[in-house]
Each structure stands twice: as C-alpha cells, then as structure tokens.
Amino acid sequence: MTTFTLADLDRIVRERAAAAPEESYTAKLVAGGPARPAKKLGEEAVEAAIAAVQGDREGLTAEAADVLYHLLVVLRAAEVPLEAVMAELERRTAQSGIAEKASRRPA
C-alpha cells in the first residue's frame, strides 16, 4: 500500500502551477486558461472510460492517474481548493446516494 495521497498530488500541482510555463507542464496547462486543462481532463476521462469498458486494468490504472492529475490542475486553474471538494464529498456521504441525488434541484 502506498502512502502517497491525493493531498500530496494536490501540493505538487500547486507548487508546479506556480512555476514558469516553460519549466512546468502543469504551469503551461494553467497558463492556457481554464479551457486547456479542462480539455485534457475530458480527453483523459474518455480514455479511462474506454479502458474500463475494454477490461484493461493496467490501462485504466494509468488513465485514472491522468484523470486525477488533470482534475487537480482544473481545480487549481479555477482556484477551487481540493479541501472544498473533499468537504462536499463528506457532506454527500452523510446520506445515501439515492437520497443525495433526490435532494438536488432538477436541471
């Protein structure tokens, strides 16, 4: 079992986002505005879904890592702290998924 956490990855993303874009892929994504990291997140999510459907566990593992990384970059670019997302997840897990979904406003 690894001791590496999502909080560790978030710290690394924050540090690298503060670097010069020519020195950091993360900074380059953030400098491209919200659309650039969001596009990459979408691409990686599709690749993860394809790997899951194909039963490619190794591919899914790699693509899931890409999804988590790019999600944290999107959050950084939008100035949404990981702690806010975790607090929302904590709030939602206080009830069943069915009850939580029913409590949402219709779209």
C-alpha to C-alpha distance for 33 and 85, rounded to whole angstroms: 21
The answer for residues whose C-beta is within 8 angstroms of residue 100's C-beta and 6 or more apart is 92
Domain ranges of the chain: 6-80
What does the DSSP 8-state code read for residue 1? -
Residue 101, pLDDT > 70, answer: yes
Residue 60, pLDDT > 90, answer: yes
**pTM, rounded to two decimals:** 0.86
18, 80 contact by CB (below 8 A): no
Which of these CATH numbers, 3.40.50.2000, 3.40.50.300, 1.10.287.1080, 3.40.140.10, describes 6-80?
Answer: 1.10.287.1080
pLDDT in tens, 26-54: 999 999 999 999 999 999 999 999 999 99
Region of residue 8 (phi > 0: left; psi between -120 and 50: alpha; otherwise: beta):
alpha
pLDDT band at 103 (very low <50, low <70, confident <90, very high): confident
* pLDDT for the residue numbered 104: 73
Average pLDDT, the chain: 94
